[in-house]
Amino acid sequence: MHISAETLIETLRERGLRITAPRRAVCEVIAAGHDDHLDATTIAERATTDSGPIDTATVYRTLETLIEAGLLTHTHLPHGAAVYHLAQSAPHTHLVCDTCGSVTSLGTDPMHAVENQILETTGFTPDLAHFAISGRCESCQQPNT
Amino acid sequence: MHISAETLIETLRERGLRITAPRRAVCEVIAAGHDDHLDATTIAERATTDSGPIDTATVYRTLETLIEAGLLTHTHLPHGAAVYHLAQSAPHTHLVCDTCGSVTSLGTDPMHAVENQILETTGFTPDLAHFAISGRCESCQQPNT
DNA sequence: ATGGCTGCAAAGTATTTGCAACACG
DNA sequence: CGTGTTGCAAATACTTTGCAGCCAT
């Protein structure tokens, strides 16, 4: 149901890119974390190879490569670090809690209506998989003032 | 209809804060740009006083002060810099073009339905004035592949 | 063999903070 | 006068880039 690391690697190969240990490691981390919201630093930490940890720069370059290949998308969360996940994942919206920083996923069902409405109203085509909504999650509902 | 610089200053005074030239300048820039999406750097550039330009650090501190006073809100745009605008402005959603970077404002009408739906579905209370949607604006509609 | 890829380090951007001098109230 | 503020600079966080050596093909 989810893309495997091998599929990612295969796609890279098809595009004439070299299959290296770091790329393989990054692909595996991403494939393994299909439901997670991983930022570049986390990916770098998890994606260690035999020859030690992977440099952040390499991770960013690899992620960019994967994005160009259409395998990955990234989302900028309100507070800072960008998170990455497979493009093949069901598109979803990120709900980020201002208070505790937790990230909740929301299916696009509630968003589809808006998508069309935005398009009709403004001519703007929104990318609903690529943005985050700030707010307060259920646990942090109580006012903090 | 929009808050004036004096009102902002008056509110700061009421909170026991000192009214200084830099704060006055920042308030004026914000009041003048009520419909704009200003980032801290832009505010710093516009808010020059007799004694020269205002330091970025001061701008950030002043903005934070205004936010604490409930006069201002900030939004993190997908590509990087946070933008600030009056809390009293009609709440609106920001549509940011991935291609040209332009920012379009969207009234909350199309969003209200979603707001309720999100709340019912997930218990998450979204802050619709505080997030941006990525996508492609009308002018950049044509594929760039 | 050779050009794409990597790691290291430095640069860049956005934002925060320490500190001494200064000015509002 | 005394403390809140400011400006400068250094620090932090995230991401990008230059460069020389290495390895997949």
Quick one: which residue's CA is nearest to C6's C1'? A58
Fold of the domain built from segment(s) B92-141: Dna Ligase; domain 1 (3.30.1490)
pLDDT in tens, A35-81: 678 899 999 999 988 888 999 999 999 999 999 998 988 888 777 77
Question: In this prediction, what percent of chain B has a pLDDT beyond 90?
Answer: 35
Confidence class for position A137, pLDDT limits 50, 70, 90? confident
Considering the segment(s) B5-86 as one domain, its CATH architecture is: Orthogonal Bundle (1.10)
| Chain B touched by A138 (CB under 8 Å) | yes
Mean pLDDT calculated for residue range A10-35: 92
Strand D nucleotides in reach of protein CB atoms, 7 A cut-off: 4-10, 13-18, 23-25
**Residue A104: pLDDT over 70:** yes
CA A11 to chain centroid: 18
Could you report the per-residue pLDDT of B86-96, keeping only the tens digit for each?
887 677 777 88
Q: What are the tens digits of pLDDT across the range B44-89? A: 999 988 888 999 999 999 999 999 998 988 888 777 778 888 887 6
Q: Where are the beta strands (DSSP E) in A17-114?
A: 38-39, 72-76, 82-86, 92-97, 103-107
- Interface test with chain A among B94, B103, B124, by most A beta carbons within 10 Å: B124
Residue limits of CATH 1.10.10.10 in chain A: 5-86
Closest residue by Cα to residue A45 from A34, A29, A27: A29
Name residues whose C-beta falls within 8 Å of residue A74's C-beta, 6 or more positions apart in sequence: A63, A67, A82, A83, A84, A130
B82-86 and B72-76 strand pairing? antiparallel
Mean local confidence (pLDDT), A80-95: 79
Q: Which residue ranges does chain B devote to CATH 3.30.1490.190?
A: 92-141
The mean pLDDT value of chain B amounts to 84
Q: Judge whether residue A95 has pLDDT over 80.
A: yes
Task: Confirm or reject contact between B98 and chain A (CB < 8 A).
Answer: yes
φ/ψ of residue A31, rounded to 5:
-65, -40
Residue pLDDT, tens place only, B16-52: 999 999 999 999 999 998 667 889 999 999 998 888 8
Q: Which residue, chain included where needed, has tokens 């707010």?
A: A135
**pTM of the predicted model over 0.85:** no
**How does residue B143 score in pLDDT terms, banded at 50, 70 and 90?**
low
Give the model's pLDDT for residue A144. Answer: 43
pLDDT average, residue stretch A78-93: 78
